[in-house]
Chain A
């Protein structure tokens, strides 16, 4: 049943794209406006779905998902014509009269596979880019966030052109079937392991991909005129302030499911790791709750220091000098983000030039996600490709080069049969040696 349903959807999407309907400014704007209305009218339901899937508090749901998508929509609506316009490029005078430009065009039918931690944001933010660029699209939300996935499947068709934008729900087998088809681009957010599978499948059809993966994002926490203990206590205090004395009582995002709960629990089970816990550590499997936990110098070869944590455990590694953190980070796989809390300008410069990561943020966390003039994407094991803001539009566009010549000027030296005279002419042309060209042309220059 699923098989037929996917094939039929693909056909419909290709038809829609072929009809050129998705290319018009009017269509793109109507879809973007439709999404905006969806977010406004259904905000409460979105919050509820996120609460159900992962226990995400409303402020986080707004700040990290709804607001981000809204911002993308507002920006795209405001800038769409500008982004769609072709851009003239400079062409050397020697080629006169020639004009060159780059024309952005949609790629065709694209696939967006998103992850469960930010189920709305990671599904719909890329979709904004896909639509703005004029493509037909399929969104495959994560099955690990079923309420969000169902919400999107049930509601998007009421606000968008559902012959050109579809939500296809499902797990591994549906994803496999989708990956078997020919797409014009795939944007995948998730783990490196699945990223490899996606790219291998894409290779069969020469489909370009964007892989938004993860990694271990380090935060370098400089002295800032306070001792180590002071800093750890500050952290503990802030946790208390944010979550109260009994964090289980207040609204805090849950662990997504039993599998991840058990994964995090087994990370802490390692005796050397357990011994390094200095705050928190309590867990409640029934409610999928893990307390904000701080660890002090767990062994560097333990899972907690080699695998991406993706949970509320924060190991602190202390070093002799803060500059040692640069070597520490650059000897490990490139992360999606590096955070540095410091006033030391030299350290800042060194981090930028001596480490590699998707992004670097000084004196804050996560906020780089919101600034859409910055590309969002990884490097190395944290992925490749980027989006957000105009980068989303570009991610789903082909920049077509267009060169125009006229019939007016003709130079015989450009044609065979070849001889020395023509060679001299061409040498001069390539060195932009206009004087030599002129002399050769009028027959005054012989060598």
Chain B
């Protein structure tokens, strides 16, 4: 039996023994705001097994046992104590109730409120930059520069865009009217959906929590954020700072894992925004279905990179390396997952990648400070299992070294692993890079289309025809030519998946739209009466109606004078 999520870095449980009496006592420290507590799995009998299994896969529950957690367990067993989840259905329901009241008061709808919240958020990111970087270091060993580029700057950019454009986004959009609906005007009004839930993930824990929240606030909603417990330092940082900087009558953070998420998913939300994997995505959507709640699912997939021989190899190798290994060490939804190239070009590509790796991370990457580590032991074993599979381990052409204690796996390149291997079927999400060779590069399009649609697909080539074919034939959330991962930074492009990689999109104005209801409004005046619409119906009315619908002036006249068109 294991204890659920890994122990938080700051002590929240204090166990002591009352001297000779041998009576163990358990003291709990922690803010009432919903920091999670250790929960033995046994007592949470009511939460769904399938959710637990999926979360276990996410890496929640198989940490090496720490001394404290073992002691707590023994104490609890001795006491026969069954730990109730601190944040349960009742807490979730009352939180949603409060937020609904807050939303009903209309405060989150005002332009001023939205702007003030986003401004405070921007202040928070600027004032707390070093705390954020520290938390990301603690959770992921993320190099400072990576944290800065990918998490902090992107969050700031999102805030700044909202501050600049919100007034414009909030304006109703005029819609053209037509002869059929004469004497009227029409517009599309964006209104907030209400109370929304954002469930975020661990690999870019700061950005992927705040970017959707920024969209939710910009659109005028009340919002609950559930950060990932696999990045606990960031999770508690978000809980602390969002409470400090933002209006907690409308914006709340709930920390925790399976049971807290289950409690949240039981409630009725006006939208749920989930970032994570397909298994849990299905669970989220099924839970949403009970309340007819629309969802955005930002999932993953195996994002392929097609590499042509007609390229600037040096630049391509650099860009591919950054995309794969300098982005959270491959643990990114849009990280290049595997390479497709021709048999003849593969050796050159492998050499180029090897030398780029050495330039970036030195001869021994385990000594480099610029590589994120594997997030936790569960993912470490998952990745080593992919490497050690029969008929895969002998295809390693570079790397393969690993160190469980430091959660390190060397940047690893493999050549032509079997297509039915695990590494070619599961999303890798790590520093392993298989290369599949084909005879002609065009075959790679069919290869990609035979697999579930990925979040991204990349192509390196100077050949314009190949580029055109690629765009025409490959379906993915987004495509990028001659670079990797940059699509994340262009906020005029919608960011989202298709098929197995998800549904819905966000970034830039798309975030605002994701959390808005586009209400159709039509104005008619009392003039322009068309008795033709009213019973009793006659054949003449029918002809007139037809003419009106077709905008057929002559037909209208003919019908009116009693000589309808046939």
Q: Could you tell me which A residues sit within 8 Å of B by CB distance?
A: 57-60, 62-63, 67, 70-71, 89-92, 95, 98, 100, 102-103, 105, 107-108, 184, 192, 195-196, 199-200, 202-204, 206, 208, 211, 213, 238, 241-244, 250-252, 330, 343, 348, 352-354, 356-364, 367-368, 370-371, 373-376, 379-381, 383-386, 398-407, 410, 414-418, 422-423, 426-427, 430
Chain B residues whose CB sits within 8 angstroms of the CB of A367 once the complex forms: 181, 184, 522, 524
B286 & A200 in contact (Cβ 8 Å cutoff): yes
CA distance A353 to B181 in the complex (A): 24
Q: Does B418 make an interface contact (CB < 8 A)? A: no
Chain A residues whose CB sits within 8 angstroms of the CB of B498 once the complex forms: 107, 398, 400
Identify A105's interface contact among B475, B483, B490, CB under 8 A.
Answer: B475
CA distance A427 to B156 in the complex (A): 11
Q: Does B535 make an interface contact (CB < 8 A)? A: yes
B521 & A359 in contact (Cβ 8 Å cutoff): yes
CB distance from A213 to the nearest CB of B (A): 7
A-B pairs, top 9 by smallest CB distance, nearest first, are A401-B478, A199-B289, A203-B285, A242-B535, A59-B537, A359-B520, A374-B520, A418-B145, A384-B294
A-B residue pairs in contact (CB < 8 Å), sample of 29: A59-B541, A71-B549, A105-B475, A184-B499, A192-B292, A202-B289, A203-B286, A204-B286, A206-B282, A250-B535, A359-B519, A361-B522, A368-B186, A368-B520, A371-B522, A374-B520, A385-B294, A400-B498, A401-B479, A401-B487, A401-B495, A402-B481, A407-B315, A410-B318, A415-B321, A418-B144, A418-B370, A426-B148, A430-B153
A402 & B148 in contact (Cβ 8 Å cutoff): no
Interface residues of B in 181-225 (CB under 8 A from A): 181, 184, 186, 188-189, 191, 193-194
Q: Does B533 make an interface contact (CB < 8 A)? A: yes
Residue of A nearest to B505 (CB): A399
Residue of A nearest to B287 (CB): A203
CA distance A173 to B534 in the complex (A): 40
Identify B537's interface contact among A90, A192, A204, A251, CB under 8 A.
Answer: A251
A404 & B502 in contact (Cβ 8 Å cutoff): no
CA distance A402 to B478 in the complex (A): 6
A361 & B535 in contact (Cβ 8 Å cutoff): no
CA distance A401 to B496 in the complex (A): 9
A410 & B315 in contact (Cβ 8 Å cutoff): yes
Chain B residues whose CB sits within 8 angstroms of the CB of A398 once the complex forms: 475, 498
Q: Could you tell me which B residues sit within 8 Å of A by CB distance?
A: 104, 106, 109, 143-146, 148-149, 153, 156-157, 175-178, 180-181, 184, 186, 188-189, 191, 193-194, 270, 278, 281-282, 285-286, 288-290, 292, 294, 297, 299, 311-312, 315-316, 318, 321-322, 326, 359-362, 368-370, 462, 467, 471, 475-483, 486-487, 489-490, 492-495, 498-500, 502-505, 517-526, 533-537, 541-542, 545-546, 549
CB distance from B174 to the nearest CB of A (A): 9
Interface of B is mostly: mixed
B289 & A405 in contact (Cβ 8 Å cutoff): no
Chain B residues whose CB sits within 8 angstroms of the CB of A95 once the complex forms: 486, 489-490
B519 & A414 in contact (Cβ 8 Å cutoff): no
A89 & B493 in contact (Cβ 8 Å cutoff): yes
CB distance from B308 to the nearest CB of A (A): 12
CB distance from A350 to the nearest CB of B (A): 11
Asked, given contacts A371-B175, A400-B478, A405-B481, whether A196 binds B292 with beta carbons under 8 Å apart, the answer is yes
CA distance A184 to B502 in the complex (A): 11
B285 & A375 in contact (Cβ 8 Å cutoff): no
Identify B360's interface contact among A60, A348, A406, A415, CB under 8 A.
Answer: A415
Residue of A nearest to B484 (CB): A405
Identify B518's interface contact among A67, A375, A402, A417, CB under 8 A.
Answer: A375
CA distance A227 to B186 in the complex (A): 30
B479 & A206 in contact (Cβ 8 Å cutoff): no
CB distance from B195 to the nearest CB of A (A): 11
Chain B residues whose CB sits within 8 angstroms of the CB of A358 once the complex forms: 519-520
CA distance A89 to B494 in the complex (A): 10
Chain B residues whose CB sits within 8 angstroms of the CB of A383 once the complex forms: 292
Residue of B nearest to A211 (CB): B292
Chain A residues whose CB sits within 8 angstroms of the CB of B480 once the complex forms: 402-405
B481 & A404 in contact (Cβ 8 Å cutoff): yes
B188 & A374 in contact (Cβ 8 Å cutoff): yes
A63-B533, A371-B175, A379-B517 known; 10 other A-B pairs, CB under 8 Å? A206-B297, A243-B535, A361-B524, A363-B523, A370-B181, A371-B184, A383-B292, A399-B494, A403-B478, A426-B149
Asked, given contacts A379-B193, A423-B148, whether A401 binds B477 with beta carbons under 8 Å apart, the answer is yes
CA distance A342 to B255 in the complex (A): 49
Asked, given contacts A361-B524, A410-B315, A417-B361, whether A208 binds B494 with beta carbons under 8 Å apart, the answer is no
Chain B residues whose CB sits within 8 angstroms of the CB of A251 once the complex forms: 537
B292 & A67 in contact (Cβ 8 Å cutoff): no
A62 & B545 in contact (Cβ 8 Å cutoff): yes
Identify A403's interface contact among B282, B285, B359, B487, CB under 8 A.
Answer: B487
Chain A residues whose CB sits within 8 angstroms of the CB of B156 once the complex forms: 430
A199 & B288 in contact (Cβ 8 Å cutoff): yes
CA distance A361 to B146 in the complex (A): 51
CA distance A92 to B154 in the complex (A): 14
Asked, given contacts A356-B191, A360-B519, A371-B181, whether A58 binds B537 with beta carbons under 8 Å apart, the answer is yes
CA distance A317 to B188 in the complex (A): 29
CA distance A416 to B278 in the complex (A): 32
Chain B residues whose CB sits within 8 angstroms of the CB of A357 once the complex forms: 519
CA distance A410 to B482 in the complex (A): 12
Asked, given contacts A375-B518, A422-B145, whether A91 binds B492 with beta carbons under 8 Å apart, the answer is yes
A416 & B490 in contact (Cβ 8 Å cutoff): no
CA distance A241 to B536 in the complex (A): 7
B503 & A208 in contact (Cβ 8 Å cutoff): yes
Identify B177's interface contact among A103, A354, A371, A405, CB under 8 A.
Answer: A371
A401 & B493 in contact (Cβ 8 Å cutoff): yes
B478 & A203 in contact (Cβ 8 Å cutoff): no
Identify A407's interface contact among B290, B312, B360, B502, CB under 8 A.
Answer: B312
CB distance from A27 to the nearest CB of B (A): 15
Asked, given contacts A206-B281, A415-B322, whether A91 binds B490 with beta carbons under 8 Å apart, the answer is yes
Residue of B nearest to A239 (CB): B535
Asked, given contacts A67-B545, A359-B522, whether A244 binds B536 with beta carbons under 8 Å apart, the answer is yes
A206 & B499 in contact (Cβ 8 Å cutoff): yes
Residue of B nearest to A363 (CB): B524
CA distance A206 to B482 in the complex (A): 30
CA distance A426 to B147 in the complex (A): 12
Asked, given contacts A243-B535, A414-B322, A415-B360, whether A362 binds B523 with beta carbons under 8 Å apart, the answer is yes
B486 & A405 in contact (Cβ 8 Å cutoff): yes
Chain A residues whose CB sits within 8 angstroms of the CB of B490 once the complex forms: 89, 91-92, 95, 98, 100, 403
CA distance A374 to B187 in the complex (A): 7
Identify B517's interface contact among A241, A250, A356, A403, CB under 8 A.
Answer: A356
Chain A residues whose CB sits within 8 angstroms of the CB of B177 once the complex forms: 371, 373
CB distance from A426 to the nearest CB of B (A): 6
CA distance A418 to B482 in the complex (A): 23
CB distance from A290 to the nearest CB of B (A): 16
CA distance A386 to B479 in the complex (A): 26
Chain A residues whose CB sits within 8 angstroms of the CB of B520 once the complex forms: 358-360, 368, 374-376
Asked, given contacts A415-B322, A426-B153, whether A196 binds B191 with beta carbons under 8 Å apart, the answer is no
B181 & A430 in contact (Cβ 8 Å cutoff): no
CA distance A87 to B481 in the complex (A): 17
CB distance from B546 to the nearest CB of A (A): 7
Identify A58's interface contact among B471, B493, B542, CB under 8 A.
Answer: B542
Chain B residues whose CB sits within 8 angstroms of the CB of A416 once the complex forms: 143, 145, 322, 326, 360-361, 368, 370
A356 & B519 in contact (Cβ 8 Å cutoff): yes
A60 & B499 in contact (Cβ 8 Å cutoff): no
Identify B289's interface contact among A200, A244, A373, CB under 8 A.
Answer: A200
Identify A362's interface contact among B322, B492, B522, CB under 8 A.
Answer: B522
B481 & A403 in contact (Cβ 8 Å cutoff): yes
Chain A residues whose CB sits within 8 angstroms of the CB of B475 once the complex forms: 105, 398, 400
Chain A residues whose CB sits within 8 angstroms of the CB of B478 once the complex forms: 400-403
CA distance A204 to B524 in the complex (A): 44
CA distance A423 to B73 in the complex (A): 46
